[in-house]
Chains A and B, each alone.
Chain A
Amino acid sequence: MAKSVCQESVFDSVFNAHAESLVNFLYYKSGDYSGAEDLVQEAFAKLWKQCAKVPLEKAKSFLFTIANNSFLNEVKHKKVVLKFEQRGHSALDNVTPQYLLEEAEFKDRLEKAIAALPEGQRTVFLMNRIDKMKYREIAEKLGLSVKAIEKRIHKALIELRKVSSKL
């Protein structure tokens, strides 16, 4: 029998392959991590329900389409707030308290600027920078062309560079 998403082992592997990037995507979209987790459960529930109709190779874009069309943070004026963890520091020597302070301030301003980006630019930029996805992979997941992804990233960089310039 051909591999079907209805088979538990196949479904499990789809979950393990994509749940994390799906949660992250929803977080980048909304700034609401627990809301994102709930939505991921819902998206997989929808996949399970439709498992007979979704071929294995379409499962990924099925999930991301659901996520992309979802609404978290529905209150319009509610600002998106994004915070990231940081492993280690950019400069390996010379990590003075002054340096750490500047680094933390820069991170804070950058996080705010990223959160202020239009959603389409923000999600794509973070998928590339944080999840380390190549443009082609992002394009596949979101059903866009690589060119469209590049345009969004270009615009995001132009905006975020303004933060770097204020020293």
Chain B
Amino acid sequence: MKHEDELLAKWLSGEVTDEQVIQAEGVESLEGLKRLVTAMDNWSMPAYNAAKSLKEFKANRQPRSSKIRKINWRAVGVVAASAAILIVAWFAFFKTNDIILTAEHGETQNFVFSDGSKVWLNDGSQIVYNGKDWISQRSIKLTGEALFEVTKGSPFVVTTHLGSVTVLGTQFNARAWGDNLHVECYEGRVRVNIDSQETILTANESVRSAGGTLLTKQDFTHASPSWQNATSRFYSEKLITVCEELERQFDIKIKLKDADRVFTGTFNHSDLDAALNNICKPLELTYKISTDKKSVVIE
């Protein structure tokens, strides 16, 4: 008979009749089944209060609005817990309306601005923006790396210590670590400035800088920054840059001899050992991870 190992399930859902079960297994079998199903018919789980649980959930999470919330203080030297922490604070140094968003080590952070623009912060990165006047003056100071999706409106300017990116309705990734600025445009148009140098990028174009000089722009094909898929990608970058990213992602310290070796490739953020292997093997280097998994030596 067909469906021998689904017969009783099909009986339970009404697809197969009582008679068919009697034929296959006998009357007693059917009666036993009916008894058990009838008994369970009025079994239930205790009532669940979804509204209350949702409230608890929100109370435990840091909210995403730009209003001021509680400030988390951590003792110096304490390693960040695996939960991302959104720190919102007022600094007397900046105008009182500046708001700071930070992504901790090993975490990324997302935020939606009041105009619908979005930012995704890669770990170890931070933005400072004008909370009060956002709609009319969309300016952001970026430290590190972030992906932006910008709605049409007033000019949206992202400044980094290496250069600035000005946008009008688009999606781009800006990476400014050390002295390498790397901007990828996913949609729309973006203007990148370093001092008097300027380049305009359209979709699938990217540009990098080295030592204060904006290099020739290049095309790329990937649809989103690799760090969004928990991978870091490098094109002919110095090993020291690669290791700095490793240190940020895994929250470790690396001791490196040949800082200037050049690496092209990727590593995934989920496994330190695999990541180190991916990087060291092609360069014929060896690595050693300490027993507490906090430091690595590469040579």
Q: How far is the CB of B33 from chain A (nearest CB, A)?
A: 6
- Min distance, Cβ A122 to any Cβ of chain B, angstroms: 13
Bitwise interface map of B from 103 to 136 toward A, beta carbon under 8 Å scored 1, else 0: 0000110101000101010000000000000000
Given contacts A44-B57, A128-B12, A151-B6, contact A85 B43 (CB under 8 A): yes
A27 CA to B44 CA, complexed, in Å: 13
Would you call A79 an interface residue if the criterion is a C-beta within 8 Å of the partner chain's C-beta atoms? no
A50 to chain B, nearest CB (A): 8
Interface size on B, as a range, is 35 or more
Measured CB to CB, the closest approach of chain A to B65, in angstroms, equals: 9
Which partner residue on chain A sits nearest B224 by CB separation? A53
Q: Are A147 and B50 in contact (CB under 8 A)?
A: no
From B40, which residue of chain A is reached at the shortest CB distance?
A129
Provide a sorted-by-A list of 13 A–B residue pairs whose CB atoms are within 8 angstroms: A6-B110, A6-B112, A7-B112, A19-B48, A41-B53, A45-B60, A49-B110, A52-B118, A110-B36, A135-B9, A150-B9, A154-B5, A161-B36
In the complex, whether B41 has a CB less than 8 A from a CB of chain A is yes
Closest partner residue, chain A, to B10 (CB atom): A150
Known: A157-B9, A161-B33. A19 touches B53 (CB 8 A): yes
A158 with B8: in contact, given A20-B50, A86-B44 (CB under 8 Å)?
A: yes
| A97 interfacial by beta-carbon distance below 8 Å | no
Can you name the residue of chain B whose Cβ is closest to the Cβ of A155? B5
What are the 5 tightest A-B residue pairs by CB atom distance, in nearest-first order? A164-B32, A150-B9, A153-B9, A150-B6, A157-B8
Question: Are A154's CB and B9's CB within 8 A?
Answer: yes
Within 8 A of B (CB), among A98-157: 103, 106-107, 110, 128-131, 134-135, 147, 149-155, 157
